[in-house]
Amino acid sequence: MLRWILGAREAQGTVEKSAALFIGEEQPKNCFTEMQVLKGHFDIVRFLVQIDDLRFASAGDDGLVLIWNVETGELLLDLRGHTQQITAMTSYAYVRGGNTHTALITASSDRTLSLWDPDTGHRVQNVYDLQSSVKVCVRVFSSCVCTCLLIVCFLQCLLVLDRLDVWVSGGNELCVWNKDFELQCKTVHHSDTGISAMVELPKNFIAAAMDREIVIFKLNVSGSDVAVMAMRHLTDHQDTIRSLINVNDGLFASGSHIGELILWDSLHWTIHACEHILWEESAGEGQSEVRLTNQKQIERSIQHMSSDGELLVAAVGSGLYVYNVALKSVVAYRRIAHDSSVLHTMLQEDGHMMSCSADGSVRMWELQDLPLPAEPASSGLFGMFGTFGRSSKQVCPPTKKLPEVSGLRSLELTGDLIGHSGAVQMFVSFKEKGLVTCSTDHLLIVWRDGELQSQLRSLALFHKLEQNQGL
C-alpha cells in the first residue's frame, strides 16, 4: 500500500507540471458523489461480472465468488468451492423452460472449473483434474442462442459461444466441451506459453493469441462430433500479444507488449490497419525519462482494449490511445493518463470513456475538439507520428499517411474517483445505477450519482409513507 502511495505522490509532482491532468477537487462533471464500500473478500478482487440489471458477481484471489445487489450493496450470496484463486470468470445466459437464466462459470488455480447458479448459489457442474488452470475469461455471443458452446482454453483463456452444443479445453491445448461439461475434442500440443486470449470469429472460427502469434482455429461440427483444427498462424506481431478483442463484425484487433496495434479482417485474416505506438519521450522530463528507460517495454504494452465498433481505446502503458477504426486514424491520445499502468478501459456514449489503473484511481475522460486545429500544442503528436516511420521493425505495410491534424481531438479529464488504496483491477458500469470497481485492496466500491440517489430515496420515502398511511 505504501508503495503505490509513494508512487502517487511522486507522480503528483509530475502531474503538477502538466496541469491539464490535475483535475483538482472541483469536478462539476463528475456525478459520482456517493460511494459505498463493499467488504467481503479477503484478497485481491480481480473479476467483476454483471449478472443482470441488479446483480453482479465478484471474484478474486481468495477463491470466493460473491454475488451482490448493486442498488443496496447487499451481499446476496457467497459461492464457496474453489480452494485457490479464481483465474477466470464469465457469465452466460441460457434458456430453460422459456425463461432466460444466467449462469456463472469460474475457473480456478485449483484446476477446477465450476458452473454456478447465481439464484441459489449451488454449484451445478464441476470439472476436476484439469491439467492446468484457466487464466482469462472472455464471453462472446453469437447470433443463434438456442444451444451453447463453451470453449475453454486452459492456462489462459475461457470463451463462451452461445451457439453450438459443445465446448473446448486443454492444458496448453484447446479443448472443446459441451454444455454438460463433457469433453468433445482437443487440439494437439501447441507451445509452452499457451493461449492468452481468444475471440470468436464468424463461421465457427476462433482466434487465439499465443505469445506472438494469433492462431485461427476452425470448429467442425458435424452432428455430435466436434473437431478443432488450426487453420492459420498470423505472425505479424513482434512481441507477446497482450490483448485481443472483436471490434465489429468484420474486424478484430490485437495489441502487443511493445505497442503494436493491428486490426485484422475477421473473414480473411489479413491486416486491415496497423499502428505502432511509440510514446515520444520528450526532453525536459528528466525524472520520468529515467523511469521510462528502465521500463520502456511496460510503458508501451497494450494491456487492454475496448471498442464500440467505431472507436477503439487502447490502454498503452499508463496512457490512453483512441483510434478511429473506419478512418484508420488516431483520434486522440494521452501519453500519461494515469500515474501507473492502465488496467481496464471502457468506452461510453458521446465520446466519454473511463479508465482505471494500478495507481488506485478511476478516471473519466471526454473527447473534446481541440480549440484550434493548428495549435502548436499538438507538436507532441507530430513527434509521435514521426516515430512510426523510424521503426525499422515495422512489419505492417506503410499504410500511414500524414496525420490529419483536423481530425485530432483532445482527451480531457472530466473527473476521477479516488477510493481504493490499491490497483483498481476492473470496473463494471450499471449505467444510472452506478459503477462498481474492484481492487487489490480487497474492496469493492459502488459509486453512485448522489443527486439521482437522493431523488430515488425521496420516491422510496413517499412510497413508504403511502403504505404506512402517514408517518
Partner 1 sequence: MIGSPDVVAFTKEDDFGESFSDPLSLPEEFSVPLFNHAANANPWTKTSYAKFSKDFILISEFSEQVGPQPLLTIPSDPKVCGTFDLNYFSLRIMSVDYQASFVGHPPGSNYPKLNFVEDSKVVLGDSKEGAFAYVHHLTLYDLEARGFVRPFCMAYISADERKIMQQFQELSSQFSKASECLKTGNRKAFANELEKKLKDLEYTRSVLHKEADLQKTNSGCYSTQAIEKANELANVEKSIYEHKDLLRQITSYPSRKRKDMDFVQCETEKATEIIAVDDTLTCNSDNAVKSVETESDSRKSTYTPQFIKAKSAKCFDKRLKTLEELCETNFFHQTLEQLNLVEKSFRGDLCFIYSSQINRALLTKQRVTSFLFEAEADWIDETAKHFKVSSNTPPIPILNLSAAPMNLESYTMSVDIDRIKPSGESIEMPAESSTSDITQETSEAADTETKGSFSSDKSIEAFGSVSPSNLHSNYFEGLERSKVSTTSSSEDQKVGKMSPQRTSEGSPAEVFGNGHLVPMDSACCIGQDGFIYEEPTPEIAQECCGDMVVNQEPLSLLHGDPVLQMDYILEDSTLLGSPNKGLMFSELNTSVLSEEAARINIEDVSDSTSYMSTSTSSDRAASPFTYGTVLTLRQKKKAGHNALRFIRQYPFAHQAIFCLLSGRTLVILGSDEGTVRKLANALLIFVPNLGKYGETVQPWLSTPFQLTDLQRWKLIGLQRAVSPAGSSILHSLNRYSRYISILDCDNKTLRCPPYKGTLINQMADHRTQIKRGSTYFLHVQSLLTQLTAKAFLYTFCHHIHLPMDMNDQGSVTSRRTNFLLQLGCTVEESKIVQYLSELIKKHCIQGHSKGVNQSFFSFDYTTSYLYKI
Grid coordinates in use for 136? Answer: 482469462
Considering only residues 34 through 73, tell me which ones interact with partner 1, judged by CB under 8 A.
34-37, 39, 72-73
Which of 81, 121, 309, 415 contacts partner 1 by CB under 8 A? 415
Phi first, then psi, for residue 20 (nearest 5°) are -60, -30
Q: What single DSSP character describes residue 54? A: S
CB of 59 to partner 1, least distance (A): 21
Cβ(56)–Cβ(70) below 8 Å:
yes
Query: Of the candidates 19, 24, 242, 422, which one interacts with partner 1 according to CB under 8 A?
Result: 24
H or E stretch at 33: strand 32-39
In one-letter notation, the amino acid at residue 449 is: D
Nearest residue to 451 via CA among 5, 6, 34: 34
Residue of the chain from 2, 19, 283, 374 that contacts partner 1 (CB under 8 A): 2
**Angle value at C-alpha 96, between 91 and 98, nearest 5 degrees:** 120
φ, ψ (nearest 5 deg) of residue 8: -60, -40
Closer residue to partner 1 (CB): 237 or 448: 448
Between CA 260 and CA 268, with CA 262 as vertex, the angle to 5 degrees is: 155
* Shortest distance (Å) from residue 144 CB to partner 1: 35
- 28 touches partner 1 by CB under 8 A: yes
Least Å from the CB of residue 61 to partner 1: 20
Structural contact between residues 29 and 23, judged by C-beta atoms closer than 8 angstroms: no
Residue selected from 19, 25, 98, 284 as contacting partner 1 according to rule CB under 8 A: 25
**418 forms part of the interface with partner 1 (CB under 8 A):** yes
Count of residues touching partner 1 (by CB under 8 A) = 45
Distance CA 257, CA 316 (A): 9
How far is it, in rounded angstroms, from Cα 91 to Cα 139? 7
Please, what is the minimum distance in Å from the beta carbon of residue 37 to partner 1?
5
Beta carbon nearer to partner 1, 33 or 125: 33
- Packing angle between helix 286-294 and helix 2-17, nearest 10 degrees? 130
Least separation in angstroms between CB 6 and partner 1: 8
Angstrom distance (rounded) from CA 454 to CA 56 = 23
Q: Which stretch binds partner 1 (CB under 8 A): 19-27, 125-133, 246-254, 374-382?
A: 19-27
Q: Supply the minimum distance, in Å, between the C-beta of residue 358 and partner 1.
A: 15
Cell numbers given for 411: 482527451
Task: Give the nearer residue to partner 1 in terms of CB position, either 318 or 437.
Answer: 437
Stretch that binds partner 1, among 32-40, 44-52, 228-236, 311-319 (CB under 8 A): 32-40
Site string for partner 1, 66-105 (x = CB under 8 A): ------xxx-------------------------------
| Nearer to partner 1 (CB atom), residue 37 or residue 377 | 37
Distance CA 59, CA 226 (A): 32
Rounded CA gap, 115 and 58, in Å?
15
In angstroms, give the least distance from the CB of 3 to partner 1.
Answer: 11
Q: Does 192 bind partner 1 (CB under 8 A)?
A: no
Question: Does 124 engage in binding with partner 1 (CB under 8 A)?
Answer: no
What's the CA gap between 468 and 281, in Å, rounded? Answer: 66
Instruction: Using the minimum distance from each CB to partner 1, give the nearer residue, 69 or 394.
Output: 69
- Residues of span 441-460 touching partner 1 by CB under 8 A: 443, 445-446, 448, 450-452, 454-455, 457-460
Query: Which range of residues in 215-223, 277-285, 316-324, 413-421 is near partner 1 by CB under 8 A?
Result: 413-421
Q: In this structure, are residues 453 and 373 in contact, taking their beta carbons and an 8 Å threshold?
A: no
Residue 170, amino acid: G
**In this complex, which beta carbon is closest to partner 1, that of residue 73 or of residue 171?**
73
Of 270, 264, 229, 228, nearest to 246 by C-alpha is 264
Contacts with partner 1 by CB under 8 A lie at 1-2, 5-6, 8-9, 24-28, 30, 33-37, 39, 72-74, 415, 418-421, 443, 445-446, 448, 450-452, 454-455, 457-462, 464-465, 470-471
